[in-house]
Amino acid sequence: MKRLILVRYGEIILKGMNRPVFENMLVKNIRKALEDECPLKIHWAQATIYIEPEDDSCVESIVEKLKKVFGIVSIVVAYQGKKDIDDLTNIITENFSKELKGASTFKVVAKRSDKKFHMQSPEICQEVGGRILEKFPNLTVDVKNPEVNVYVEIREEGYVHLDRINGAGGMPSGSNGKAMLLLSGGIDSPVAGYMIGKRGVCLEAIHFFSYPYTSDRAKDKVLKLASILKGYTGTLKVHIVPFTDIQLQIRDKCPEEHLTLVMRRFMMEIAQRIAEKRGCYALVTGESIGQVASQTMAALCVTDDAVTMPVFRPLIGMDKEEIVEISRKIDTFETSILPYEDCCTVFTPRHPSTKPKKEKVILSQNLLDVERLIQEAVEGTETVDM
């Protein structure tokens, strides 16, 4: 009898002839996520990936890492036995006795993938359930809302386990191209990165740093956020763009109501230049429509006009509470609320334009030596490999 981990995926099953490509990519990502764990074997069959660690003590830490791998729908820690009802029942009563003794209701759920097995699924449920009732008189069967679900799976071997653990879902990282995330130190942009990464998009990140108006602690905060995101995306490079000179010139030469919009246009143009060099197909931002003055419909149109690359905004229809809920779930919230300002907050105008005219904003931007400032920022960019 040995303990192993069964990983299941969902959307990949629908990929038809291309399904093996996505399965191989998911297994590759799993291997990378577990490269620091104890030696293990991985194989897959029938939409299930089997992970067999040599050391049983590694199981819990493996599960924690698997919960962050995009493409995984559910994870179970199972015991492998013979395709024999006596053997599987003994494993259940021996290893799940604590859960069964502490409950009053249970249900057996059977899945017979091996159609040659002599019992059908309802018969397996009845037989195993009856034996559990004999062993644990405190229990009764509740098929609608049981306290404990006992799963019996008949595959190439027999497997038993309790409830499933939810995975991150989505598609395997790397299956849908690469994008550049504009990563601030706030709550929204890390969540946007997570949401796009969940769809199989590889990410690189760009951060605009205005030293000394933003401190090294603010940069460290962003790198910590990137490190958390890396737990989901597998890899992540962060491009730190020197932005002080641009912001000072915008402040000194542009009308106050256009400060944020001109700044955002510079950010988008710089991000696009670096994204193109890095083989990215799109930009990703954490904007939510109407959340602040620069995120009105008119303002977003002015911002998007600065680039030709598609701009993805996965949070566009979310309210702040929804975004905060996801940030807590992915463990970025506590870092995001650390009180270190980013460059978007240090030069905030008192009366920003909420219904800007594109032509007027461009005239304001053209008061500056736009090309020189962009080139200097791109050339001065520092890249950190997380």
Percent of the chain whose pLDDT exceeds 90? 80
Helices 358-365 and 259-277, interaxial angle, to 10°?
80
Residue partners of 79: CB distance under 8 A and separation at least 6 = 1, 2, 3, 4, 91, 95, 159, 160, 161
d(CA 210, CA 345): 11
Question: What pLDDT, on a 0 to 100 scale, did the predictor assign at position 290?
Answer: 82
Question: What pLDDT, on a 0 to 100 scale, did the predictor assign at position 50?
Answer: 95
Q: pLDDT class for 47, splitting at 50, 70, 90? A: confident
Question: What pLDDT, on a 0 to 100 scale, did the predictor assign at position 212?
Answer: 84
Average pLDDT value for residue range 89-111:
95
d(CA 87, CA 85): 5
Beta strands at 311-312 and 382-385: parallel, antiparallel or unpaired? unpaired
Closest Cα partner for 300 from 310, 290, 314, 308?
290
Residue-wise pLDDT tens digits, 14-38: 888 889 999 999 999 999 999 999 9
Question: What pLDDT, on a 0 to 100 scale, did the predictor assign at position 347?
Answer: 62
- Other C-beta atoms closer than 10 Å to the C-beta of 82 total 12
Average pLDDT value for residue range 74-78:
96
d(CA 76, CA 210): 47
Pick the residue with more confidence: 292 or 268?
268
Pick the residue with more confidence: 67 or 290?
67
pLDDT > 60? residue 218: yes
pLDDT > 70? residue 272: yes
Question: What pLDDT, on a 0 to 100 scale, did the predictor assign at position 342?
Answer: 64
Instruction: Give the range among 11-20, 193-202, 363-372 with minimum mean pLDDT.
Output: 11-20
Question: What pLDDT, on a 0 to 100 scale, did the predictor assign at position 213?
Answer: 80
Question: What pLDDT, on a 0 to 100 scale, did the predictor assign at position 222?
Answer: 95
Question: What pLDDT, on a 0 to 100 scale, did the predictor assign at position 349?
Answer: 65
